Amino acid sequence: MNVFIIGTGLIGGSFALDIQEQYPEAKIFGIDQNSDHLKEAKELGVIHEAVTFDALSDADIVFVAIPVNATLSVLTNVLDAVHDNAVVIDVGSTKQDICEIVKEHPKRRNFLASHPIAGTEFSGPKAAMKGLYQQKTNIICEVEKTAFKLQERALELFSKIGMRIRYMDPISHDKHIAYVSHLSHISSFMLGKTVIEKEKNERDIFDMAGSGFESTVRLAKSSPAMWAPIFEQNKTNVIETLEEYIGNLQKFKELMQENNFQAIYEEMENTNHIKNILNGIR
Amino acid sequence: MNVFIIGTGLIGGSFALDIQEQYPEAKIFGIDQNSDHLKEAKELGVIHEAVTFDALSDADIVFVAIPVNATLSVLTNVLDAVHDNAVVIDVGSTKQDICEIVKEHPKRRNFLASHPIAGTEFSGPKAAMKGLYQQKTNIICEVEKTAFKLQERALELFSKIGMRIRYMDPISHDKHIAYVSHLSHISSFMLGKTVIEKEKNERDIFDMAGSGFESTVRLAKSSPAMWAPIFEQNKTNVIETLEEYIGNLQKFKELMQENNFQAIYEEMENTNHIKNILNGIR
């Protein structure tokens, strides 16, 4: 089985590592426009061989694990290049534009739209890790548009590396994911910005910040090259979440200004309920 | 050495556990208005004996580890009750009002204002843990107002349990801590609220939320009884941080509305710098 990983970073590289373990006979080919990453991925054993798009006709499975704007640029070319029995899987954090761009493609049935809910704030081949997908959810969109035997091949692979599958339409995916993922990233980036702007003396941040600050700004380490295109493709939903978030912050501020600390208490108490939700995630 | 812990929860209980280890001869007395907590603290071995305020005249060291509004209510009574050679240490997350209330107290020199930058999102005696303060910063305010030999006793204790000391005036403390701690909590609570309001079907949150969401909303599990009084006592500073945070979110939203994703990219890239700051915290 020839597996092609387009984008040998955290997400693509972690698939490569788990596939090597589950399919010892698989040969892993890497494609990356960043030649340093490609070299690094080879050296780290994430991929077996560095190739270019020209080699795609040999692929049985292709993972497209690059920023979502780059996926929009290359996806139809990838489908053009693969043979009739290959499955091309994208793993981007937006699904609507990506499903739209391949809608009329003659090889639409060779494509599977997915979003593995997994990752860290790090990027590049060094960030790839075995077992990243263990017990994580993979959201698959428009599964009925993928050829049945290719669905089977992809689902067997996801199952072997420990993923749970959930099916969803691309519009619902983009709407929900704006709340539970995209908004968290903006909240974190802007929190980091607010503190950095204020605390010109970093020593003060080092000394006074604890694990709480660290936890809330962790996502502000994330890659802008990955996230700017996600916000662009999910613009309408993300703006809606931002408006609701800003509205809630504004209301909290007004309650403070009115010295209504009983209401502040209740706001927090109602949200404490998040404990149960987070227990459900684990 | 008789150590009194007023408030046998996460913070006070963790001091009790570390003191037991470092001072095997110390006897730990617990005071708590929550009788279940007091019983639990005894059963868990966090304290040796449950007592009331009447016993305070036997104390050599007193930790006041209760919500900051309760500290304001009881602190002068605690100082009244202790003998002339006792040190009373408060560990609250605000310092200005607390220093103010004891300013003219005849036993002001028996008081030390501190803020250990340590904790988790959990509370109560079960949340107490050994080693919580290892390599954590303890901010001490107005140290010059504490009797020298009592400073020494407190600093030796902090040093034995592994804390670094930083000195600061109460006004600066409250201003900085609003940015690096209080704002993170509001950001997290309001993020949790925004998502819970939207995702009426919790199954969707379970399935779609990943570790990023978990990290940013972790603090929304925190105790409202502890946090509402902190926001009240640090109202002016917290409102200022909220205004700056809301302003940054608003600007981010406007950049998205203008399709200026280059600027969005740059905002994130500039904030990526937080990596170095967080490395400084660890």
The whole-number average pLDDT for the span A181-187 is: 96
Residue B177 shares a structural domain with residue B134: no
**pLDDT of A133 above 80:** yes
Mean pLDDT of B185-205: 86
Closest by Cβ to B196, choosing from A166, A238, A274: A274
Which residue from B minimizes the CA distance to A179?
B195
Residue B144 binned pLDDT confidence (cut-offs 50, 70, 90): very high
DSSP at A180 = I
In this predicted structure, the answer to whether residue A282 has a pLDDT above a threshold of 80 is no
Same domain, A133 and A189: no
Mean pLDDT of B183-210: 85
What pLDDT, on the 0 to 100 scale, is given for residue B37?
Answer: 97
Query: What is the predicted pLDDT for the residue at A199?
Result: 76
Same domain for A96 and A18, yes or no, is yes
Q: What confidence score (pLDDT) does residue A205 get?
A: 74
Q: Are B153 and B61 in contact (CB under 8 A)?
A: yes
Domain boundary among B152, B168, B184: B168
**Mean predicted confidence (pLDDT) in A27-46:** 97
A202/B274 Cβ within 8 A: no
B65 and B159 assigned to the same domain: yes
Q: What is the pLDDT of residue B208?
A: 85
Q: Measured between beta carbons, which residues in chain A are less than 8 angstroms from residue B176?
A: 199, 204, 208
Q: Are residues A151 and A266 in the same domain?
A: no
Across chain A, mean pLDDT equals: 94
Instruction: Determine the average pLDDT of the residues in A153-174.
Output: 97
Beta strand pairing call for B2-6 and B61-64 = parallel
Confidence of residue A36 (pLDDT cuts 50, 70, 90): very high
pLDDT tens sequence across B15-34:
999 999 999 999 999 999 99
d(CA B11, CA B123): 8
| pLDDT of A281 | 56
Pair A159, A203 in one domain: no
Residue B184 is part of which domain span? 173-281
Judged against a pLDDT cut of 80, whether residue B203 lies above it is answered with no
Residues B143 and B277 in one domain: no
Q: pLDDT of B53-98, one tens digit each?
A: 999 999 999 999 999 999 999 999 999 999 999 999 999 999 999 9
A38 and A65 in a single domain? The answer is yes
3-state secondary structure at position A40: helix
**Taking residues A255-259, what's their average pLDDT?**
98
pLDDT of residue A202: 67
A116 Cα distance to chain centroid: 6
Contact B137 A208 (CB under 8 A): yes
CATH number of the domain bearing residue B119: 3.40.50.720
Residue that is last in its domain, among B139, B168, B197: B168
Q: Which parts of A91-163 are beta strand (E)?
A: 111-116, 137-141
**B184 in the same domain as B158:** no
Q: Which residue in chain A has the smallest CA separation from B121? A: A212
**A223 and A161 co-located in one domain:** no
Chain B closest-CA separation from residue A269 CA (Å): 6
Closest to A30 in 3D by CA, of A54, A10, A13: A13
What's B229's domain CATH number? 1.10.3660.10
Considering the domain architecture, whether residues A159 and A204 belong to the same structural domain is answered as no
User: Which of B127, B150, B168 delimits the end of a domain?
Assistant: B168
Are residues A193 and A156 located together in one domain of the fold? no
Q: Residue A157: is it exposed, middle or buried by C-beta count within 10 angstroms (0-12/13-18/19+)?
A: buried
Chain A residue with minimum CA distance to B139: A208
Q: How far apart, in Å, are the Cα atoms of A128 and each of A92, A113, A186, A224, B194? A: 16, 21, 24, 18, 32
**Which stretches of chain A are assigned E, i.e. beta strand?**
2-6, 27-31, 49-50, 61-64, 87-90, 111-116, 137-141, 164-168
Query: Could you tell me the pLDDT band of residue B275, with boundaries at 50, 70 and 90?
Result: confident
Query: What is the total count of domains within chain A?
Result: 2
Within 8 A of A217 by CB-CB distance, chain B residues are 184, 274, 278
AA identity, residue A61: I
Q: For A18-30, what is the mean pLDDT?
A: 98
